């Protein structure tokens, strides 16, 4: 798609309908620090605030976000922190194992499933309008990883509940809107309920500047490329080790960073103790650090 066509579709409103259809399709189908990814931070008062703008799909891609399913849990054999093959609509050993436990009819098995359930994340390109804790990020393009709560707010903007509300495409350069990200602590978790979109406005007035910005976007399809996922057999081997199914000898999995080299006992960690929202974005990052330490 050319930049001129992107602007033309903005005026016609055709992109919004296309995105809504894509969400419906997604909803029917059931992975070190990356400096491309922007993360909000809390201030000294324990609250977080930033203003970002969701950007259109990168050149050569059709949809301005991708979704990724993953697992992060601890078993007797260590941590299981892996992308789920269900992202690619393929069989995944954890999902199969969880299904068997759930169908057992035992409440204790269902509790295990809840601890091992999939986590849903989305990735999109954003332009940072305001970042009080890191002003050097302002005016830059980043990838942003977020959960279902923020995605629901995007959908509410595209499909408003009341007839007096005008639908918008938050990913549009000209007819989109800035997103005011407001984070408060609620019951020990990060809560995004107060976040909201501003009034519709162009991101920038100069189309040449917008095109330059557009060309800085990162590939989204790369985030869910096959290379980001281990094979079913490799995941099954890792799952068996984590669940303690194989205890005869230590297994060194070269695809998992040095977790097996350090068996120092660690305190129990839960998403609540990390202090994140119900999507547990920071918890997953924390678990990843544990696995790599």
**Per-residue CA distances from 232 to 62, 75, 109, 133 (Å):** 28, 19, 23, 41
* Distance of alpha carbon 34 from the chain centroid: 13
Domain positions in the chain are 3-67+120-224, 73-119+230-292
Over residues 94-103, the pLDDT tens digits come to: 999 999 999 9
Find all residues with CB under 8 Å of 204, minimum gap 6, and list them.
173, 210, 213
Q: What is the pLDDT of residues 117-167, one digit of tens each?
A: 999 999 999 999 999 999 999 999 999 999 999 999 999 999 999 988 999
Residue range 179-208, pLDDT digits in tens: 999 999 888 889 999 999 999 999 999 999
How confident is the model over 2-57, as pLDDT tens digits? Answer: 888 787 777 666 666 666 666 655 544 444 678 999 999 999 888 999 999 999 99
In whole angstroms, what is the distance from residue 147 CA to residue 92 CA? 21
pLDDT tens track for 54-94: 999 999 999 999 999 999 999 999 999 999 999 999 999 99
Give per-residue pLDDT as tens, 216-244. 999 999 999 999 999 999 999 999 999 99
Distance CA 125, CA 146 (A): 11
Q: What is the DSSP string of 217-248?
A: PPPSGGGG-GGGS--HHHHHHHHHHHHTS--S
Closest to 86 measured CA to CA, from 121, 115, 62? 121
Q: Which residue has the higher pLDDT, 133 or 252?
A: 133
The token pair at 145 is 């990883």
CATH classification number, 3-67+120-224, choose in 3.40.630.30, 3.40.50.720, 3.90.198.10, 2.60.40.10: 3.90.198.10
Q: Count other C-beta atoms under 10 Å from residue 278's C-beta.
A: 16
Half-sphere exposure for 41 (CA within 13 Å, toward CB)? 11
């Amino acid at each position: 798609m050319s930049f001129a066509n992107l602007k033309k579709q903005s005026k016609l409103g055709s992109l919004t309908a296309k995105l809504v259809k894509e969400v419906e399709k997604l909803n029917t189908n059931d992975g070190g620090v990356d400096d491309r990814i922007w993360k909000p931070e809390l201030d000294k008062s324990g609250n977080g605030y930033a203003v970002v703008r969701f950007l259109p799909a990168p050149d050569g891609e059709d949809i301005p976000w991708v979704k990724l399913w993953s697992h992060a849990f601890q078993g007797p054999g260590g941590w299981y922190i892996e992308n789920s093959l269900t992202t690619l609509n393929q069989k995944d050993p954890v999902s199969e194992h969880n299904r068997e436990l759930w169908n057992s009819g035992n409440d204790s098995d269902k509790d295990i499933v809840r601890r091992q359930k999939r986590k849903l994340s989305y990735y999109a390109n954003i332009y940072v309008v305001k970042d009080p804790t890191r002003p050097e990020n302002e005016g830059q393009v980043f990838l942003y990883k977020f959960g279902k709560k923020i995605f629901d707010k995007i959908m509410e903007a595209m499909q408003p509940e009341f007839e007096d509300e005008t639908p918008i495409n938050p990913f549009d350069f000209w007819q989109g809107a800035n997103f005011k990200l407001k984070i408060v602590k609620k019951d020990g978790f990060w809560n995004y309920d107060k976040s909201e979109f501003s009034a519709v406005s162009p991101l920038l007035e100069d189309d040449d500047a917008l095109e330059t910005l557009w060309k800085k976007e990162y590939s989204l399809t790369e985030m869910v490329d096959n290379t980001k996922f281990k094979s079913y057999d490799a995941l099954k081997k890792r799952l068996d080790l984590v669940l303690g199914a194989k205890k005869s000898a230590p297994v060194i999995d070269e695809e998992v960073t040095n977790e097996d080299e350090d068996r120092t006992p660690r305190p129990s960690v839960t998403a609540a103790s990390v202090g994140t929202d119900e999507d547990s974005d920071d918890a997953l990052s924390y678990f990843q650090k544990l696995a790599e330490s």
